[in-house]
A and B are shown apart, each in its own frame.
Chain A
Amino acid sequence: MKPKVAFYWCASCGGCEESSVDLGEALLDVAEAIDIVLWPVALDFKKHHIEAMADGEIVAAFINGAVRSSEQEEWVHLLRKKSQVVIAFGSCAQLGGIPGLANFFNRAGVLEAAYRESPSTVNPNGVFPQTVHKDNGFTLTLPVLHDTVRTLDQVIDVDYYIPGCPPTPQLLADAVQALLSGKLPPKGAVLAPDHALCKDCPRRDTKPEKPMISEFKRPHEVVIDQTQCLLNQGLLCLGPATRSGCGALCIEGNMPCTGCFGPTSRVRDYGAKALSAIASMADSNDDAEIAAILSKIPDPAGTFYRYSLPASALQRKKL
């Protein structure tokens, strides 16, 4: 019998699903070797199908997305129960990801922005989502949105992590291969190389031993040299603090790394560590001058914790 594998999504954009589909023809080989029992984006399996399974019947569940609603919480608990191995797939499941930036707000703030304040919102009657709605004798329900976005491992036990926003198809293929061969690393491992992106960067040779930056620039403000180290050009590239494994795709596209692969195993708080690496490059020893150089970095919390706010030591803003 082929091993059963489930794919599920929580608070995510669908990019991780896209990445799975990007396996292309290799997906057919994967589908040949495994039995996909759940994949909401592509296949029509329902919750009761999973509930009917025996505990541990699923060999591996790949779950992408952060957990921010009662429905997602319910689903991940169910999948944990039915699966031998749970893999947090992508930045959101591993670190909180972009949806995790909602931790700068709370539920009320998020709903207020989405249903009232945003310029594209048309909501003259001030309709807000309700968890329970009665109409014509029928009761309709919606999941409860949480105040705080959580990573997958803050809700259930997680066996492995695949980083990336989204992970590359290659990482998924490698993980499936490792699962099928039974050659799995110790529990808790991140299934990607454990060194910083700079090491694999195609522009590595142009990186100064000690990059110093006297003016931070944003990508839209300059014409970026396609051969030079981006830090050397004053661009805020998080390569020095970010795990490799992405194939330096952004660098290849002539854009700085934004840190989606998260920390290496030696780092606890990605944002603080990345901040440490970048701030110390400010090329001055004078209070005011340092502040002026660093002032060119807009929204430092959002920049350094872009993908990892829920996984950070502070986890969320204090409101």
Chain B
Amino acid sequence: MSEAKFEPRIVAFFCNWCTYLAADLAGISRMKYPPNARVIRVMCSGRIDPQFIVKAFANGADGVLIGGCHPGDCHYQEGNYKCLRRFTLLKRVIQEMGIEDERLRLEWISAAEGDRLRTVMFDMVEKVRALGPLNWKPAEEKAPVAEEVTA
């Protein structure tokens, strides 16, 4: 590894109707924010299967950011509530797996809140940068450890 500053890889799932539009707004408003997030547009935060999140972590994401409509504003009435319920429980699973809390984040950002999106991006990138790389690697023990067992 070079001495270059660690740039966190953030996978961001944004809903089509609010947070993705906020990112769009931030763009057309020429707001500057860190380019660390790989944004994946989904129709609704309720579409974000917890499988997507564990897969992102397993495949090299340092953080996962979920963006949805504010409570009460879901385009599909209650998709964001489902997201919130799953997120609440998944957060505990992620902690049990030894992944730091700050790496998984849920934010409600409406289509008018480009500025809020920028703030969240700055904040998340800095927090994850401070934690360092997650470096999740499947523990493939192709060649088993040969040393003696001394626990």
Contact = CB atoms under 8 A, between A and B. Distances in A.
A273 B90 CA distance: 10
Contacts of A150: 141
Nearest to B52: A272
B97 A318 contact: yes
B29 interface: no
Interface string B80-105: 01101110111011001111000000
A142 B149 CA distance: 10
A287 interface: yes
A239 to B, nearest CB: 18
Interface stretch (A107-115, A199-207, A247-255): A107-115
A132 B148 CA distance: 7
Interface stretch (B12-20, B53-61, B111-119, B122-130): B53-61
Contacts of A273: 49-51
Contacts of A147: 139, 141, 145
A159 B46 CA distance: 36
B85 A290 contact: yes
Contact of A290 (B49, B55, B84, B136): B84
Nearest to A310: B139
Interface residues of B, number: 37
Given A275-B93, A299-B96, A313-B55, A108 B151 contact: yes
Contact of B139 (A111, A128, A148, A312): A148
A313 B85 CA distance: 21
Given A104-B96, A154-B140, A299-B96, A269 B54 contact: yes
B148 A130 contact: yes
B7 interface: no
Interface string B133-150: 010101111001110111
A279 B98 contact: no
Nearest to B100: A318
B85 A319 contact: no
A280 B82 contact: yes
Given A111-B151, A290-B88, A317-B98, A146 B50 contact: no
A267 interface: yes
Interface in A144-187: 144-148, 150, 154
Interface stretch (A31-39, A87-95, A300-308): A300-308
A267 B84 CA distance: 21
A131 B58 CA distance: 32
Contacts of B93: 271-272, 275, 300-301, 304-305
Contacts of A313: 51, 54-55, 57-58
A199 B140 CA distance: 36
A129 B54 contact: no
B105 to A, nearest CB: 14
B78 interface: yes
A226 interface: no
A268 interface: yes
A104 B146 CA distance: 22
B43 to A, nearest CB: 16
A309 B81 CA distance: 27
A281 B86 CA distance: 9
A265 interface: no
17 contacts: A107-B151, A148-B141, A267-B51, A268-B51, A269-B50, A269-B55, A272-B49, A272-B51, A272-B54, A273-B51, A275-B86, A276-B86, A279-B89, A285-B71, A287-B88, A312-B54, A313-B55
